[in-house]
Amino acid sequence: MRAQSRLGLFLLLTPLLLWLTLLIVIPHIDMLLVSLRERVGVGEYRTSLANYLTFLTEPLYLWTFLRTALMSVLATALTLLIAFPVSYYIAKIAKGRVQSALFLLCLVPFWVSELVRTFGWMILLRETGVFSGLLQWAGLVDGPVEMLYNDVAMMVGLVYTSMLFMVVPLVTTLESLDDSVIEAGYDLGGSGPSILREIVIPHAMPGIVSGCIVVFMLSLGNYLTPTMLGGKESLWFTELIYSQFIVRFNWELGAAFGFMLLLLSSVIVWAVLRLTGQTLEKTMG
Amino acid sequence: MLPDLECANLTKTFDATAAVRDVSFAVPPGAFFSILGPSGCGKTTIMRMIAGFLEPSGGDILIRGKSVLNVPPNRRPVNMVFQHLALFPMMTIAENIGYGLRRAGMPKPEIERKVGEALERIGLPGIGNRKVDELSGGQKQRVAIARCMVLEPDVLLLDEPLGALDLKLREHMKIELKKLQSAFNTTFVYITHDQSEALVMSDQIAVMNHGRFEQLGTARELYYRPETAFVAGFVGEANRWRGKVERVNGDALELRTETGIVMKGARHGRALNPGDSAEIFVRPEAIRVARDEREVAHFENRICGTVTSLLFNGAASRILVRDDGNGAEIEVAIPQSGDYATLSRGASIHIGWSGDQANCFPAGSA
Amino acid sequence: MKLFTLKMPLVLSAAIATAAGLADAASAETLRLLTWGGYAPENVVAMFEKETGITVEVTKSNNEEMIAKLRATGGGGFDLAQPSQDRIAGPQEEFGIYKPIDLSKIDASLFIPSMLEATKANTTVGGEVYGVPHVWGTSGLVVDTAKAGMVRDYTDLCGDAVAGKVSYRLKRPTLIGFAFAMGLDPFAAYGDEAAYKQVIDQVEAKLIACKPGVKTYWGGGDELMGLMRSGEVVASMAWDTGGWKLNADNPDITFVAPASGALGWIDTFALPKKTKAEDAAYQWINFVMRPDIAAMITEAAGNFTASKGADEFVSAELKARYQASFPPEAVDNIKWYPPVPAGLEVIEGAALDRVKAAN
């Protein structure tokens, strides 16, 4: 009996274990080994930390790294600011059909690929694009306005791409907040802002944190949006990794970059969890 | 004396349906006032209007003589214990109880003192640092009340707060609530669908149905002198017949039921004339049982029958008796004095009740 | 080199390896072709399949991705690849991803002899030939002659008259092109890393100085087309075919061979090391080099091939555009890319990163 249930468990876990080992663990070990390799000549390598040293000594890489991290944090914060009222409305105020319709509305952009979405923004923001045309038509500006190729456009794209991943966990946690708890807050003399601060936000914390983690990771690892919407100097760290791997054939440095990115996201996630007093189990479970 | 809470012609309509129709009542200070009714009768709507979460469509709500219609819920001198208590799970017990005081801007040391006092009062000193989910159902109940009581409201509203508790605890909490009410000496307005809760605790009970108050009175009045067929059926238990009035003599009636039994009843001042259809309610506990016919000979209504079922339920044990004459079944309470402990199915038995105990109402009134 | 370089989100090499590994299951009756957009048009594939019974699976890519894919699998996953001739020797030395070509299986009479010899010479590593030529073309400038007629060379893209309305890629052709336009000779410095670095440093400084006038660095062909068509950009670095395509829509826009010389490239046929359909690969090469078929590819890709006599089959329209962009002296002035020695990419890459990051 027991042996049987063990076997059953093992069989159930096999796909997951295979997935984890073959597609995550082994490639990462391989990447780590590659990142610790230094090219000394044609086809000749030796083990060293040279790639990490390159990363640390080249201001450009460090600067891009920092910029990517800060911009991702900013994108996450903006997404949270926009998504919270939206989620609150969907979870607590809208009812029935309106509720599902609004939720669906958040989902609709994800029916097309990220590429198409990004092109959509390019059509809207470009110099000969929709917004520029509207502004001119309304007489607010004299000539065409370029709204593309800058950090703001990139931020808009990042926030737009991430919105759903913030809204879903927020709606879920906010829905689990009993309406009567909010009413109790009012009943006991709480005002709107104080209830938000003392009741709604503490309750939604797991959702906020898990949404922020997902959005932060997505922004950090985004490639299309920063390259297509971003300006001439908006170098994103993933772009560096891509170019090291694909354009420079410098897998060693690319792998080292990859590990720095992994380290960065891990550290930031850990810091956020510590700061908010949440645990990974609570936010992801 | 100025009532603590007064509702005047309170009305609430949702779209086309009226949830509360023209309800008026006044609750004197320090009273335990219950609104009893089946679910959907509008009692929760009344409570939410008093708390300020719903705007009445008509009428007025006065607390200590002042209309609160334009006062938002967080400014009203009433507090509410919610059905599922709605304690704040993100806060400790002390923070829960101190929440209202913090919002009122009371200095910290004073809050601490008041919270400590409240915890003493509810008999749970020193649990201030615990989390909400570490408490038992009864403890949560008391904390929820303490959380309101520290604010010293004029009126405390309680929305079926015992609903989620198990039977034993519920029985215990009924007494506890009554004690807390006299300890805090605050006006309680309690809504419930459970008649026993209402009967045990209340000074005054309003029985509500379809958005209206059917009857307002003490527990005894409701039990012994229901004014409507609905109240007679809803409060306590009753055997129920339909019949036609054959003779009227003052308050006493003679009726013939649809099954053909001739029965004596009382109309207690209600308009019932010969030929009218009537509903007759007789409580199981108002019927006497006897093995010997002579013991029930002095009752106006007597039936000789056979025991078809024994419904043993401790103190509330019943038997079902089938009338040997026409086969109608009647529920009868049996005294637990031991005399009837050996009663078995199929036994022959005599039952009887006085006509005064048979409450008659014009048919179709409920 | 075609205009499709839209990059996928960063894919870990492992994912590439796995995907390519799965593709290994394809049978020998299938030719897995790793090529550029337009080099294997559907009508040509259909004719080949009918003639030989071999199924052709086409994967569109670019130089960098081709090399990355083959490197990830050690030269597996594909049966025939089409990297540019200057990008064979370096990667072959470094990663060993190709297999020598058996020239006896190639019908040399189908090739323009000078181009065949040049390609063979450039792709020889250790005495073995790794590539034969297929399609060639140039990169230079695409200019809206009505608005930016003064742009005659790469460095003219920095002029005040076109400030804010120019674009180019941040890739190695830009570095090479600017170097020539600045009077330097990067190809001569290929063999000497230090000298090459000096050249690139100067170009880097120039590109940073030019940066304020650049509207955006384009990344993909579609993006460039959009920029030029909308008039947001009036002059850009681009491939000849891109200019000719735009010319068909707007006669003012056309490809201009820069005064310092267009950069000439030749895309080749090369056998991945673990090719599983070598015979099919040779059959494909000999098939597409037939003049009639080569002309079909020219129609589809826009570029001319190394097939001898294919010109006759090409439409007059295409020939006219070609002649307008390339007067005889411009053809003579084409700078053909010599093989890139391994290691130069690192110097170029660092320079490009700094240009991109500069404010």
> Among residues C239, C253, C323, C311, which one has the least CA distance to residue C63?
C239
pLDDT band at A94 (very low <50, low <70, confident <90, very high): confident
- Please check whether residue A40 lies inside any domain of the structure: no
- For the residues A70-97, what does the mean pLDDT come to? 92
Give start-end residues of each CATH 2.40.50.140 domain in chain B: 237-362
SS3 B34: strand
- For the residues B121-126, what does the mean pLDDT come to? 85
Cβ separation A186–B74 shorter than 8 A: yes
In the predicted model, is pLDDT for residue C19 greater than 60?
no
Contact residues, chain B to chain A, C-beta under 8 Å: 51-53, 72-75, 78-80, 82-84, 86-91, 99-100, 103-104, 147-148, 151
- For the residues A104-120, what does the mean pLDDT come to? 85
Cβ separation A183–B90 shorter than 8 A: no
SS3 B274: coil
Task: State residue B330 phi and psi, 5-degree precision.
Answer: -130, 135
Work out the burial of residue A222: count CB atoms within 10 Å of its CB; fewer than 13 is exposed, 13-18 middle, 19 or more buried: buried
Residue B6's identity, in one-letter code, is E
For residue C20, what pLDDT is reported?
43
In the predicted model, is pLDDT for residue A176 greater than 50?
yes
For residue A133, what pLDDT is reported?
87
- Residues near C317 by Cβ (< 8 Å), separated by ≥ 6? none
In the predicted model, is pLDDT for residue B345 greater than 90?
no
Neighbouring CB atoms inside 10 A of A22's CB total 12
Q: Mean pLDDT, chain A, as a whole number? A: 87
**Taking chain C, what is the end-to-end CA distance rounded to the nearest angstrom?**
30
Q: Which two tokens stand for residue C167?
A: 């674009």
Contact between C240 and C262 under an 8 Å Cβ cutoff? The reply is yes
**Taking chain B, what is the end-to-end CA distance rounded to the nearest angstrom?**
35
- Please check whether residue A19 lies inside any domain of the structure: no
In the predicted model, is pLDDT for residue C209 greater than 90?
yes
In the predicted model, is pLDDT for residue A70 greater than 60?
yes
Range name among B134-148, B201-215, C315-329 with the lowest pLDDT average: C315-329
For residue A139, what pLDDT is reported?
85
- Please check whether residue A98 lies inside any domain of the structure: yes
- Please check whether residue A51 lies inside any domain of the structure: no
HSE-up of residue A261 (Cα within 13 Å, Cβ side): 29
Tell me the C-alpha to C-alpha distance, in Å, between residue B130 and each of A275, B91, B120, B143, C234. Answer: 22, 9, 15, 12, 71
Question: Which residue from B51, B84, B100 is facing A189, i.e. has the nearest CB?
Answer: B100
Written in H, E and C, the secondary structure of C295-348 is HHHHHHHCCEECECCHHHHCCHHHHHHHHHHCCHHHHHCCEECCCCCCCHHHHH
- For the residues A44-53, what does the mean pLDDT come to? 85
In the predicted model, is pLDDT for residue C16 greater than 50?
no
For residue C1, what pLDDT is reported?
38
Domains and CATH numbers, chain C: 13-136+264-329 (3.40.190.10), 138-263+338-357 (3.40.190.10)
* Dihedral angle over CA of B91, B94, B97, B101, nearest 10: -100
CATH superfamily of B5-231: P-loop containing nucleotide triphosphate hydrolases (3.40.50.300)
Residue predicted with more confidence, C38 or A280: C38
Q: What distance in Å separates residue A189's CA from the closest CA in chain B?
A: 4
Q: What is the pTM of this model?
A: 0.79
- For the residues B59-70, what does the mean pLDDT come to? 91
Neighbours of chain A (3+ CB pairs under 8 A): B, C
Q: Mean pLDDT, chain B, as a whole number? A: 88
From chain A, the residues in CB contact with C171 under 8 A are 247
- Please check whether residue A50 lies inside any domain of the structure: no
Tell me the pLDDT tens digit for each residue of A213-257: 999 999 998 988 888 888 777 788 998 888 888 877 788 889 999
Strands (DSSP E) along A9-50, which ranges? 37-41, 44-47
Which residue in chain B is spatially nearest to A180 when comparing CA positions? B86
For residue A285, what pLDDT is reported?
55
With an 8 Å CB cutoff and a minimum of 3 pairs, decide whether chains C and B touch.
no
pLDDT band at A68 (very low <50, low <70, confident <90, very high): very high
- Spatial distance between the Cα atoms of B270 and B123, rounded to a whole number of angstroms: 49
pLDDT band at C25 (very low <50, low <70, confident <90, very high): very low
- For the residues B333-347, what does the mean pLDDT come to? 82
CATH superfamily of B237-362: Nucleic acid-binding proteins (2.40.50.140)
pLDDT > 70 in chain A, percent: 96
The interaxial angle of helices C63-73 and C13-23, nearest 10 deg, is: 80
In the predicted model, is pLDDT for residue C297 greater than 80?
yes
Cβ separation A228–C65 shorter than 8 A: no
Which residue in chain B is spatially nearest to A186 when comparing CA positions? B74
SS3 B315: strand
Q: CA-based diameter of chain B, in Å?
A: 77
For residue C10, what pLDDT is reported?
35
Tell me the pLDDT tens digit for each residue of C54-66: 999 999 888 888 9
- Spatial distance between the Cα atoms of B24 and A93, rounded to a whole number of angstroms: 32
Question: Which residue from C67, C96, C219 is facing A249, i.e. has the nearest CB?
Answer: C67
- Please check whether residue A200 lies inside any domain of the structure: yes
Question: Which residue from A115, A233, A248 is facing C357, i.e. has the nearest CB?
Answer: A233
Which residue in chain C is spatially nearest to A39 when comparing CA positions? C343
For residue C100, what pLDDT is reported?
94
pLDDT band at B312 (very low <50, low <70, confident <90, very high): confident
Range name among A121-125, B324-328, C136-140 with the lowest pLDDT average: B324-328
Based on the structure, what is the number of domains in chain A?
Answer: 1
From chain A, the residues in CB contact with B89 under 8 A are 181, 203
From chain B, the residues in CB contact with A95 under 8 A are none
What are residue B190's DSSP bridge partners? Answer: B34, B158
- Please check whether residue A46 lies inside any domain of the structure: no
Q: CB pairs under 8 A, 24+ apart, for B343-346?
A: B343/B307, B343/B310, B343/B319, B344/B307, B344/B310, B345/B307, B345/B308, B345/B309, B345/B310, B346/B306, B346/B307
In the predicted model, is pLDDT for residue C26 greater than 70?
no
For residue A1, what pLDDT is reported?
53
CATH of the domain at A168: 1.10.3720.10
For residue C22, what pLDDT is reported?
45
Tell me the pLDDT tens digit for each residue of C279-295: 999 999 999 999 999 99
Give start-end residues of each CATH 3.40.50.300 domain in chain B: 5-231
- Spatial distance between the Cα atoms of C294 and A135, rounded to a whole number of angstroms: 50
- Please check whether residue A10 lies inside any domain of the structure: no
